[in-house]
Amino acid sequence: MLPDSFRFGVLEKKGNMEVREEKLPHLKEDEVLIKQEACNICTTDYQQWQGKREHQGYPMAGGHECSGLIVAKGAKVSNSLKVRDRVCVIYDYCGDCDSCKKGDITSCRNIQQFGKNYSDQYYGIFGFANYFIRKSKSVVKVSADLPAPEASFVEPLSSVLKGIRKLRIHSGFDTVVVIGGGTMGLLNAAVSQAMGARVIVSERNPKKVEKMKQMDLELIDANITDPVEEVKKRTNGNGADIVIVAVGTSSANDQALNMIKDDGGKILLFAAGYPAPELNVDSNSIHYKQCELIGTYGSSLDDFNNAAKMLSERRIDVSPLIEEEVPLTRIQEAFEKAGTRGNYRVSVLLHS
């Protein structure tokens, strides 16, 4: 029997996650009902819980790194989606604006990414809900045997793929330095390695340093050596071809500018920071070094599909990035753990 109501986590105000219950609406002909199994807590989620992103609005029925099983489908849903398929949720989008027509669905002009798109009362896309109805175009299929917390990495991995595409990595040639060994830093490192680059990760948090040692990554421990000097040393004085800034701080931006090689280096500004970090560079330096400062945000529809494929084929192993699994009934505790410095992804299990 299909449910007629659903339970979901909602951020009522700074520091206060609650579990609420609402009636499920009627399933429309172009929609699917998903039994959402897991939703991982993103930096965007816990930073609002910490009070750093209050511009996103309250009450926030957030969570956007979620996956689950289709349990019902509307009459006009494509045969490519079947009941019992495992899917990962992607953002809703109009499909008609210029951004959507180019595939850049997270830049949709008509549907605000964290707006009140599913409710008149709540912001957000209800990732922390045990059941939810979505447009069939707003999901991508993943392998049936991929655990739900790992399947939930489709969204963050897709955003990494978008940035990596812009870098145009030369396989077997480029040295990529990732500043920051958190979840997104290590995803950037893994994809860069898969693209054939030599990858070095710089990190100072002791817990993250130990994690990278376990993962056998080439590491710079920023507690015991200067990252800029160490990069120059390991590249015969040349500097990195590419630096990916995966932490949102002014000091990381400064390091990146000093790490890149003097001719044609690239910096990918992957992470946002709150308060906004500074970038101290003059245009002459960019001019004479012929360097590229590249911004990236969100994902295209192709990025979502490619991320689902990479995870399903186990070309990227995200299991080491799951810190802990916590049931929905303890979602406040889950956010406390997610916001603890040094922790990786905390996965909220929605049917435990």
Q: How confident is the model at residue 299 (pLDDT cuts 50, 70, 90)?
A: very high
Total domain count for the chain?
2
Query: What does the pLDDT read at residue 71?
Result: 98
Residues 83 and 214 in one domain: no
193 within a domain of the structure (yes/no): yes
Rounded average pLDDT over 33-60: 95
Q: How confident is the model at residue 17 (pLDDT cuts 50, 70, 90)?
A: very high
Domain that holds residue 333: 5-153+318-349
Query: What does the pLDDT read at residue 295?
Result: 97
In CATH, what number is assigned to the domain containing residue 328? Answer: 3.90.180.10
Closest CA to 348 of 328, 318, 319: 328
Residues 219 and 116 in one domain: no
Residues 274 and 344 in one domain: no
Query: What does the pLDDT read at residue 352?
Result: 76
Check whether 208 has a pLDDT greater than 90: yes
Would the CA dihedral through 193, 157, 270, 179 be positive or negative? negative
Query: What average pLDDT does the structure give for the chain?
Result: 96
308 within a domain of the structure (yes/no): no
Is the separation of the CB atoms in 326 and 333 below 8 Å? yes
Rounded average pLDDT over 48-59: 92
Q: Global pTM?
A: 0.95
334 within a domain of the structure (yes/no): yes
Rounded average pLDDT over 196-224: 93
Residues 90 and 147 in one domain: yes
135 within a domain of the structure (yes/no): yes
Residues 43 and 10 in one domain: yes
Query: What does the pLDDT read at residue 1?
Result: 78
303 within a domain of the structure (yes/no): no
Q: How confident is the model at residue 102 (pLDDT cuts 50, 70, 90)?
A: very high
In CATH, what number is assigned to the domain containing residue 187? Answer: 3.40.50.720
Query: What does the pLDDT read at residue 214?
Result: 84
109 within a domain of the structure (yes/no): yes
- The token duo for 140 is 């991508």
273 within a domain of the structure (yes/no): yes
Is the separation of the CB atoms in 124 and 58 below 8 Å? no
250 within a domain of the structure (yes/no): yes
Q: What is the tens place of the pLDDT at every residue in 307-324?
A: 999 999 999 999 999 999
* 171 φ/ψ sector (left φ>0, alpha ψ -120 to 50, else beta): beta
Q: What is the tens place of the pLDDT at every residue in 222-268?
A: 999 999 999 999 999 999 999 999 999 999 999 999 999 999 999 99
Rounded average pLDDT over 6-22: 97
